Amino acid sequence: MFKKLGLAVVAALLLKANAVMAYGTIGHRVVAEIAQRHLSRHAKKELKKLIGEEPLAYWANWPDFIKSDTTGKWKSSSRWHYVDLPGNLDKTDFISQLKSLKGENLYTQMSAMEAQLKDKSLPKEQREIALRFLIHLVGDLHQPLHVGRDEDQGGNKIKVTWFGKPTNAHSVWDEALVDFQQYSYTEYATVLDVVNKDTAKTWVDEPVEDWFYESHVLADKVYANTPENAKLSFGYNYLFVGDLNTELAKGGLRLAKILNEIL
């Protein structure tokens, strides 16, 4: 279903290859916008107390923007955007290694941000920052190369070309594939927000560790089809646009589920 949605658009590409941010600005806003459309009445009320009339998409990219901060205040948060594990693990081994990772990472910080947002005894500013990170980190989780491999920094070291322009595998997944569809984030959210209720329930009811494993499996597929110096263009979009669209839709619905539960 999702492959057909993306294949309808084969247009001129505007690639910003110098940016390395998970899903770029558009992808993260797509996830946030889909989530916004599935918030419960109570969650909307609680969010209004916290961030006023600002939509989730307004804050979706803030955790990437603060990477430009020169004070060092947010330096430690750079580790929150990913987990690195060996490739091609079975589910049991993957989840075991995921839970045993040392230090802060995408898995630990999603849980930490949920706990902080839920805790109404914390200062409003702290809860608001937790919300900003949570919106973003759920998007990161659904970009498969944020559940990638340490040796190539989640595909950042895999040099490729995208329609003849030098870039790397991570940047292709962050921005190039999303930008290639040529939608605004609200248009893209509308195109993807057509998942039937049974499928959506299956997606959101899975344990969060399963969400990570799904990204791991997709990352294995990406690695297998994105070798060093690959020349990527229309065929790559054809191969992966269905996966891309499914992950964006899953990210939005799962973010809504988290916010509805903890608010």
Question: What is the tens place of the pLDDT at every residue in 191-210?
Answer: 999 999 999 999 999 999 99
Domains of the chain from N-terminus onward? 2-262 (1.10.575.10)
Task: Tell me how far apart the alpha carbons of residues 80 and 183 are, in angstroms, rounded to a whole number.
Answer: 28
Alpha-helical (H) ranges within the chain are 2-7, 24-36, 41-51, 56-59, 62-65, 91-100, 106-118, 124-141, 169-171, 177-180, 185-192, 197-205, 208-224, 234-262
Which structure tokens are listed for 228? 């060093």
pLDDT for residue 97 is more than 70: yes
> Residues of the chain with pLDDT > 70: what percent?
91
Give the model confidence (pLDDT) of 48-83 as tens digits: 999 999 999 999 999 999 999 999 999 999 999 999
Give the model confidence (pLDDT) of 112-127 as tens digits: 999 999 999 999 999 9
What's the pLDDT at 22?
54
State the average pLDDT over residues 83-110.
97
What's the pLDDT at 24?
77
State the average pLDDT over residues 7-30.
54
What's the pLDDT at 3?
40
Distance from the Cα of residue 131 to its chain's centroid: 15
Task: Tell me how far apart the alpha carbons of residues 77 and 100 are, in angstroms, rounded to a whole number.
Answer: 19
The whole-model pTM stands at 0.90
Task: Tell me how far apart the alpha carbons of residues 134 and 80 are, in angstroms, rounded to a whole number.
Answer: 10
- Answer for the pair 110, 141: CB distance below 8 angstroms, yes or no: yes
Which DSSP letter does residue 173 get?
I
pLDDT for residue 37 is more than 60: yes
pLDDT for residue 87 is more than 60: yes
* Confidence grade of residue 16 (pLDDT, cut at 50, 70, 90): very low
Sign of CA dihedral 73, 64, 54, 121: negative
- Answer for the pair 167, 15: CB distance below 8 angstroms, yes or no: yes
What's the pLDDT at 12?
31
Nearest C-alpha neighbor of 262 from the set 24, 35, 12: 35
